Structure 1
């Protein structure tokens, strides 16, 4: 039987810290979240592999390093309110919930949203709200957000996401056509001024929504 705690610590060391991640808060969050609880039972032996893994409804749980990188780039701190687009299994939301004050996460597939909600509740994550709906429009009722992170890629930046950031807020998302995406960080400098930086090449599922 796999010692999941040992596997998790090894994952953080070899896959994340040794790739240059030095943010102690992110490393501790990655050590604390039991990734094996967020993958299908048949794949639990691979929970700490250095790769994305399939989950229900033809979706994926992201590679651990990418979850850590996005969380770090978002500069999450206690008291921050975060919007996640694409809940999936709930794993990334769980990591973010250990770094920020509150996480609102939107999942368009109702079954995934309900499963993630039940799982996160069972694991004691009281500062996460899972919403079933169209994430391309963001979440106007909860805006503004200190950070928005998307687990789905788009050729363009949804205008609602930019508008729903606080001044100084960070948007982390895969940008570009499927197969040629770049993970970007967009910072809202003023009401009308945004700065964009490319972080790394990625491969995420395409964003689906009515506002695209």
Structure 2
């Protein structure tokens, strides 16, 4: 696409896809305009960078559709200086958006290839490789946790990693209908859970539903 067509496609993504899906936070809309999504899409799929679809990125993983990214960013409402943990780096686009909103981002992925490819795209983001399907034990609490792949259920360890007032975004359940949840820590032993919308994403590795056993 020409530079003009890219900017028109970006405008259309924000104004015709994301905003109509009740994403009205100007900071989120500005972030989606500013972070060059096409730079985070696999080269063969750059023409689809602004399409309202999941894009495959390898290893059975996907980039979330822009509308889901927008709703997630709006729900998490990252404030400058907040400590942010992302589980599922992928191409790095979501981490870049979280950082653009002012978060101090740590991003984790189970696939070393994703982390290595993301390093050049994510200056200022702390990157780590590991299996975080059951939690991420780095001894820290966070203001924001974004889990960018689906999970069969939310590990208790992620609730406990939130600071008071901290927010956790996660998609739970099984295909074809999953729930996007926002979990907010209201005190040392108190959490609120809000169901945001229905969607469907591939599960994080090792976070898939366990098969039922029959005898």
TM-score normalised to structure 1 length: 0.91
* Larger strand percent: 2
TM-score normalised to structure 2 length: 0.90
1:105 to 104, 107, 132: 107
Deviation, 1:18, is: 2.4
Q: SS of the counterpart of 2:183? A: strand
Quote the Cα distance in structure 2 between the aligned partners of 1:169 and 1:32. Answer: 26
Deviation digits for residues 26-73 of structure 1, max 9, x if unmatched?
000000011111111111111111111111222111101111110110
Quote the Cα distance in structure 1 between the aligned partners of 2:194 and 2:137. Answer: 25
Deviation, 1:117, is: 1.8
Q: Which 5+ residue runs of structure 2 have no aligned equivalent?
A: 211-215
How big is the alpha-carbon RMSD for the aligned residues of Structure 1 and Structure 2?
A: 1.7
Deviation digits for residues 92-136 of structure 1, max 9, x if unmatched?
11111111331111000111111112332xxxx32x111111122
Q: Which 5+ residue runs of structure 1 have no aligned equivalent?
A: none
Q: 1:167–1:190: 8 Å Cα contact kept in structure 2?
A: yes
Deviation, 1:141, is: 2.4
Q: SS of the counterpart of 1:189? A: strand
Query: Highest CA radius of gyration, 1 or 2?
Result: 2
Q: SS of the counterpart of 1:176? A: strand
Q: 1:142 to 1:79 in 2, by over 3 A?
A: farther
Paired residue total = 206
1:144 to 120, 127, 141: 141
Quote the Cα distance in structure 2 between the aligned partners of 1:48 and 1:75. Answer: 22
Aligned match of 1:4: 6
- Compare 147-156 and 22-31 and name the one that shifted more: 147-156
Quote the Cα distance in structure 1 between the aligned partners of 2:164 and 2:175. Answer: 30
